[in-house]
């Protein structure tokens, strides 16, 4: 896994190494050992007296600096966890993080608890997170959140209750100033008994609740909705009631933290999901930013954090963390915020729009997963040479935004050339998936027409070498992997699948529930792995005649052997993947399919590049500018969409 430490971090680590080695040197040589020199000069002191004094001082320092030490310990622990569960962690834009003063970090919520762990391990500032009270009350998760200084937040959706009866229809409310107000008419409902003003009504298929403005009777209520067409269908619907939650105490804690120069991490989508774009942001982040400006006079920088996972629900996946340029609330809009009512809502929506733009500037968003998969395949085909993490992100975003702009330009009906190209890209990727090989392996394959006897012999030698290497790696990793990793891995996988099904059933926004799987695996492994080590330690104590130092040495080696098993097993899997193209060439059924892939890839690559060259100028800055201000680009795109939407409503 590749973390990218800053020069300051490297210097601190170098100093720590020097101090540790110097202390070891002092302890190893009696003539310069400070404890022995002290006891030689003052023989009346005993070793246990010095030990007790040092222990008391250590306890005092730990208690006085407990929060900082706990946070530092948790950060080291999760840095190790990421090294185990992720093959690569890339960091982009660390220079955009302010070195001091209050900061609001806003991240997309794509991997449940892992999101905060990744942000914690890659951010140079000490971050306190807002966490759902439901998660804060969970064993292990809540304990870790407390050690990190997290602030629990009670969410309305966590205590949602099914309402009595059904909602039959939604009708307009007559009168000036009621453009966003609509009347819900129910059948068999008990609105006066079950609901209160400012509660919310949520219908199936919607993640956003409709705020109750007035309750007229048991069967009629007035709600507020900005887009009623997407909220209520024509047929009768069941509904949930989300009770209003007073977050005054939470805001006070957050503002106190910011006023003292601290930082807050928040996931403004409100909940984890596995969609390929952002959910509508909650107003809390805007309220925090305006409240800090109003009450404390602080213009808090809001730093967007993009958490981009690749196979993020699987073991040894990859993640790219991108910190964007900070944005600020407009001081001129503070008066509107303080006025309240529609002016306050407008001020909050304005800053929420800019936060959404900045968050989209650090992720790669797409209409759906299949489109996102096509985008990543197209990026690999377009530029085959090595690219840095930033270049990959930038090019993937250009393809994603170019695709959206192409749809907009053509009224949702892209040109025939693109549809054919898109189908070929999908077919190519499907063929790779069926054969079990990766795109980077295709250029290395030999075409059948160019194959010679020497090529066949060379392939055979490579096959034998790879097999020998795999046998060696499996031999090295088999024992630690079998006894230390395999039991935990199997149990964690089954547990994660079970939790995924439960989370999917309880969610209104998840597609497959993949966002919870890795988090559940990590939480379970935190408990199971040490428990398994302790079990083996006790077993060794009772079934062997080893002395305690030997048993302790073996027990303390378990983490090393476990990690070694993971690394060697991964190396073996990589070799197996490299070996697969050679093996499947031995079978007539797949030999012809794999032999045409190199030419198919070249043709597809040339056609893609030509299509981009032809259509590129019409995409404007996406094609012409080498470096884009993605936040400004997203804001411009959003405003154009809003203008088009307003025009459609007027027409």
Residues 281, 302: contact at Cβ < 8 Å?
no
Q: Rounded mean pLDDT of the chain?
A: 84
| Distance between CA atoms of residues 388 and 203, nearest Å | 45
Q: What is the pLDDT of residue 476?
A: 58
Of 253, 252, 287, give the one whose Cα is nearest residue 268: 287
Structure confidence by residue, pLDDT tens digits, 591-627: 888 888 999 999 999 999 999 999 999 998 999 898 8
pLDDT in tens, 247-265: 788 888 899 999 999 999 9
283 neighbors 352 (Cβ within 8 angstroms): yes
Amino acid 372: pLDDT: 92
Please report the pLDDT score of residue 443 as a whole number.
83
pLDDT of the residue at 471: 67
Q: Are 132 and 107 members of one domain?
A: yes
Judge whether 72 lies within some domain. no
- Burial of 138: CB neighbours in 10 Å, binned 0-12, 13-18, 19+: middle
Tell me if 73 is assigned to some domain: no
Judge whether 425 and 378 are in contact, CB under 8 Å.
yes
**Cβ contact 112:519 at 8 Å:** yes
| Same structural domain, 162 and 146 | no
In a domain, 200, yes or no: yes
What is the Cα–Cα distance from 629 to 631, expressed in whole angstroms?
6
Report residue 434 as tokens.
Answer: 């069926």
Q: Please, which residues have CB within 8 angstroms of residue 591's CB and are 6 or more apart in sequence?
A: 448, 584, 585
Nearest Cα neighbor of 267 from 114, 116, 443 is: 116
Q: What is the CATH classification number for the domain harbouring 126?
A: 3.40.1130.10
Instruction: Give yes or no for residue 4 having a pLDDT over 50.
Output: no
pLDDT of residue 328: 94
**Where among 327, 360, 393 does a domain terminate?**
360
This prediction's pTM: 0.81
CA distances from 417 to 375, 460, 609 (A): 16, 42, 12
Q: Are 167 and 189 in contact (CB under 8 A)?
A: yes
DSSP-based three-state secondary structure for 308: strand
State the average pLDDT over residues 393-412.
90
Structure tokens at 152: 């629990």
Question: Are the C-beta atoms of 163 and 241 separated by less than 8 Å?
Answer: yes
559 and 495 in a common domain = yes
**Residue 377 sits in the same domain as residue 332:** no
Assess if residue 74 is contained within a domain: no
Instruction: Give me the pLDDT at residue 108, please.
Output: 95
Domain that holds residue 569: 448-595
User: What contacts 215, CB < 8 A, 6 or more positions away?
Assistant: 191, 192, 195, 196, 197, 221, 222
Task: Assess whether 459 and 580 both reside in one domain.
Answer: yes
User: Is residue 512 included in any domain, yes or no?
Assistant: yes
Residues 473 and 618 in one domain: no
Given a cut of 60, whether residue 542 has pLDDT beyond it is yes
Lowest mean pLDDT among 68-82, 163-177, 514-528: 163-177
Copy the structure tokens of residue 341.
């009512």
Q: Is residue 97 part of a domain?
A: yes
CA atoms within 13 A on the CB side of 410: 17
Tally of helices (H runs) and strands (E runs) in the chain: 23, 14
- Over residues 365-375, mean pLDDT: 91
460: pLDDT confidence band, cut at 50, 70 and 90? Answer: low
Percent of the chain that is helix, strand, coil (3-state, to 5): 60, 10, 25
Residues 586 and 523 in one domain: yes
Where does the pLDDT of residue 572 fall: very low under 50, low under 70, confident under 90, or very high at 90 and above?
low
Q: How many domains does the chain have?
A: 5
Residue 327 DSSP label: B
CB 294 within 8 A of CB 332: no
Distance CA 245, CA 173 (A): 27
| Residue 132 vs residues 135, 141, 144, 151, 502: alpha-carbon distances, Å | 5, 11, 13, 8, 17
The CATH number linked to 210 is 2.40.30
The verdict on residue 1 lying in a domain is: no
527 token code pair: 């408990």
Is residue 151 within 8 A of residue 135, CB to CB? The reply is no
Tokens found for residue 278: 């952002």
* Cβ–Cβ under 8 Å, residues 612 and 308: no
At residue 8, the pLDDT reads 53
What's the pLDDT score for residue 333?
92
For 466-486, write each residue's pLDDT tens digit. Answer: 666 666 656 655 666 677 788
422-458: per-residue pLDDT in tens?
999 999 999 998 888 888 888 877 654 445 545 554 5
- pLDDT computed for residue 3 by the predictor: 47
Distance, first Cα to last Cα, the chain: 54
User: What's the chain's length in residues?
Assistant: 651
271 and 230 fall within a common domain:
no
Strands 181-187 and 220-224: antiparallel
Q: What is the DSSP letter of 90?
A: E
pLDDT at position 487, please?
86
Same domain, 541 and 503: yes
Last residue of a domain, one of 218, 242, 266: 242
Question: CA separation (Å) from 297 to 151, 264, 291, 329, 338?
Answer: 22, 17, 9, 12, 14
Q: Which of 595, 612, 636 is the last residue of a domain?
A: 595
583 and 603 both lie in a single domain: no
> In terms of Cα–Cα distance, which of 587, 484, 583, 568 is closest to 534?
484
- Residue predicted with more confidence, 268 or 142: 268
Task: Note whether 328 and 378 are same-domain residues.
Answer: no
Shared domain for 389 and 453, answered yes or no, is: no
Whole-angstrom Cα distance, residue 573 to residue 552?
A: 32
Q: Is residue 70 part of a domain?
A: no
Instruction: Determine the pLDDT at residue 448.
Output: 46
């Amino acid at each position: 896994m590749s973390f990218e430490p800053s020069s300051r971090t490297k210097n601190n680590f170098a100093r720590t190494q020097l101090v540790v080695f110097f202390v070891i040197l002092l302890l190893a040589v009696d003539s310069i050992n400070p404890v022995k020199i002290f006891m030689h000069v003052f023989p009346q002191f005993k070793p246990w007296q010095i030990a007790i004094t040092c222990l008391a001082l250590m306890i005092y320092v730990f208690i006085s600096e407990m929060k900082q030490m706990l946070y530092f310990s948790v950060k080291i622990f999760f840095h190790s966890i990421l090294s185990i569960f992720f093959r690569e962690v890339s960091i982009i834009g660390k220079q955009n993080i302010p070195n001091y003063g209050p900061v609001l970090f806003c991240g997309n919520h794509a991997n449940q608890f892992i999101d905060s762990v990744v942000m914690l391990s890659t951010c140079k500032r000490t971050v306190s997170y807002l966490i759902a009270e439901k998660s804060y009350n969970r064993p292990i998760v809540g304990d870790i959140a407390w050690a990190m200084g997290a602030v629990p937040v009670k969410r309305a959706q966590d205590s949602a209750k099914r309402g009595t009866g059904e909602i039959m229809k939604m009708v307009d409310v007559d009168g000036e100033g009621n453009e966003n107000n609509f009347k819900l008419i129910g059948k068999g409902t008990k609105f006066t008994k079950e609901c209160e003003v400012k509660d919310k009504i949520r219908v199936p298929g919607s993640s956003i609740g409709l705020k109750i403005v007035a309750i007229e009777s048991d069967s009629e209520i007035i709600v507020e909705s900005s887009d009623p067409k997407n909220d209520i269908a024509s047929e009768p619907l069941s509904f949930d009631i989300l009770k209003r939650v007073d977050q005054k105490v939470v805001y006070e804690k957050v503002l106190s933290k910011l006023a003292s120069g601290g930082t807050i991490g928040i996931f403004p989508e409100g909940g984890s999901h596995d969609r390929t774009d952002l959910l509508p942001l909650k107003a809390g982040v805007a309220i925090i930013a305006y409240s800090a400006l109003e009450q404390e006079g602080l213009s808090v920088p809001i730093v967007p954090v993009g958490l981009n996972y690749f196979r993020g629900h699987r073991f040894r996946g990859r993640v790219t963390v991108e910190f964007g340029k900070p944005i600020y609330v407009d001081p001129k809009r503070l008066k509107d915020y303080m006025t309240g009512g529609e002016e306050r809502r407008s001020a909050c929506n304005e800053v929420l729009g800019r936060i959404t733009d900045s968050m989209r500037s650090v992720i790669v968003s797409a209409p759906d997963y299949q489109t996102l998969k096509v985008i990543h395949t197209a990026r690999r085909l377009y530029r085959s040479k090595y690219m840095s993490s930033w270049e990959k992100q930038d090019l993937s975003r250009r393809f994603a935004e170019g695709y959206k702009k192409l749809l907009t330009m053509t009224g949702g009906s892209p040109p025939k050339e693109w549809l054919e190209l898109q189908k070929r890209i999908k077919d190519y990727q499907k063929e790779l998936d069926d054969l079990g090989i990766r795109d980077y392996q295709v250029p290395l394959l030999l075409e059948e027409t160019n194959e010679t006897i020497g090529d066949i012999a060379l392939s055979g030698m490579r096959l034998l070498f790879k097999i020998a290497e795999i046998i060696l790696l499996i031999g090295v990793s088999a024992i630690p992997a079998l006894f230390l990793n395999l039991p935990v891995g199997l149990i964690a996988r089954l547990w994660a699948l079970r939790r995924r099904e439960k989370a999917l059933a309880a969610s209104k926004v998840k597609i497959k529930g993949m966002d919870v799987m890795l988090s559940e695996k990590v939480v379970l492994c935190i408990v199971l792995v040490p428990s398994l080590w302790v079990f083996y330690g006790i077993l060794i104590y009772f079934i062997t005649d080893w002395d305690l130092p030997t048993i302790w040495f073996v027990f303390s080696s378990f983490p090393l052997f476990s990690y070694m098993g993971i690394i060697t097993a991964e190396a073996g899997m990589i070799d197996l993947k490299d070996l697969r193209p050679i093996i499947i060439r031995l079978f007539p059924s797949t030999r012809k399919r794999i032999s045409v892939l190199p030419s198919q890839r070249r043709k597809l690559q040339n056609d893609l590049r030509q299509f981009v060259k032809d259509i590129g100028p019409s995409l404007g800055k996406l094609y012409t500018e080498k470096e884009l201000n993605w936040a400004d680009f997203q804001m411009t795109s959003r405003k154009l969409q809003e203008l088009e939407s307003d025009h459609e409503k007027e027409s």
